[in-house]
Structure 1
Amino acid sequence: MNAERQVGISEVHPWIRFWARSFDLLLVAIPVAVAWWFWFPPAEITWFEVMLFGMAVLFFDLLIEPVLISRLATTPGKWVFSIRVINPDGSLLSFEQALRRSDMVWAKGLGAGTPLVGQFLMAAQHYELSANAKTFWDEEGGFEVEHREIRGARVIGAIAIAVMVLLAAGLTLAAV
């Protein structure tokens, strides 16, 4: 392993990983929300619909993330925060590896979006990552998560994209 990867791997960044996943989920949530409210316009939004919506977003992310990780070693959110998921030898994960990792994150890290269970599991994995420098799914799969220097321009670009996406979604939903 080269020295740059060694330095990147040894650092632990639970909150940066959280914000990267949050950005990815935002990008998935917007088209899901537009489709959801277009086909099923609610007269009144209930907590149950909000819970189902969150679960749907996580499910669609489960379908998208493995493709990106296996092809690029990153997702849009991970790219913004300079995170890559790779094998210990530096190679890309296979689609099967990436799917298994995403499935473990979905089930054991996010509780499939189940209220309270998901929050408990996220807190447990934050502790695990902080204490042992690896999450359960990365340890189990033998994956390495590289954290490189975060470039300010990427974060500013991501904020601009998030604002534009939210504005576009708001305008679309207002028109429906």
Structure 2
Amino acid sequence: MEQALEAAHQDAACDHGDVARAASPWQRYWARQVDLTLAGWVAWLALRVVLPSAAGFGGDSLWAFWRTIALLPVVFVIDAVILAWWGRTPGLWLCGLRVVTVAGAPLGLAKALRRNLLVYVYGFGLGLPLISLVTCIHNHNKVEQNKPTSWDVACGTRVDDAEGSTLRTWSTFGLLVALSLPDALFTIDW
């Protein structure tokens, strides 16, 4: 069944005459990590306003872990809203990628939300450490073999390398490191 859906997904992309190059797994990964980090900061700031004691730096690392797991669905919603509103997220823009329907059209809000829900479940394994590792490796291998991910098949979407380059991908990685430094510095108990 899954193979039939993948074949239909590939045929739909070919029927529209699109010759866009598919994004590599690492381009997709670094773009997603930048987007989740930026949206995570937005969710953390909102939590800090609503419930200041729950959003503090430092403290119990177990509490920080569960707070992150709890905020992850919110982060995916923020990411979907940005994607639907502007057609790209900051990470996608930095890597030169586009998420579009197999027909090449931009995603609406409903499709972006559904796609991100499926990414959250099947791509990130609900953010649970070992499950997430397995799902990330599985999907990396699928994309490496030029096969669509389950969420792209289910949503009729694809990720195109519209104007990406190795320099853009490495720049995105560098930005991710820079964005992660404040979190790392403030959560370490010196």
Common fold, TM-score beyond 0.5?
yes
| Shift in CA distance, 104/43, structure 1 to aligned 2, threshold 3 Å | closer
| Shift in CA distance, 166/12, structure 1 to aligned 2, threshold 3 Å | closer
| Shift in CA distance, 166/117, structure 1 to aligned 2, threshold 3 Å | closer
| Bigger mean CA offset, 147-156 vs 64-73 | 147-156
| Shift in CA distance, 67/14, structure 1 to aligned 2, threshold 3 Å | same
Unmatched 5+ residue regions in structure 2? 1-15
Looking at structure 1, the residues matched to 126 and 174 of structure 2 have their Cα atoms a distance apart, in angstroms, of 26
- Give the equivalent residue in structure 2 for 1:131: 145
Counterpart code for 1:97: K
Answering whether residue 95 of structure 2 is matched by residue 58 of structure 1, we say no
How high is the TM-score relative to the length of structure 1? 0.76
Unmatched 5+ residue regions in structure 1? none
Looking at structure 1, the residues matched to 59 and 102 of structure 2 have their Cα atoms a distance apart, in angstroms, of 49
Q: Is the 8 A contact 1:51 1:114 kept in 2?
A: no
Answering whether residue 87 of structure 2 is matched by residue 73 of structure 1, we say yes
Q: Is the 8 A contact 1:85 1:144 kept in 2?
A: yes
Count matched residues. 168
- Percent sequence identity over aligned pairs: 25
Q: Is the 8 A contact 2:30 2:173 kept in 1?
A: no
Alignment of 1:1-176 (within 5 A): 1=16, 5-8=18-21, 11-33=22-44, 35=47, 38-40=52-54, 41=56, 44-46=59-61, 48-150=62-164, 152=167, 156=171, 159=174, 163=178, 165=179
**What SS is found at the alignment partner of 2:19?**
helix
Q: Is the 8 A contact 2:96 2:163 kept in 1?
A: yes
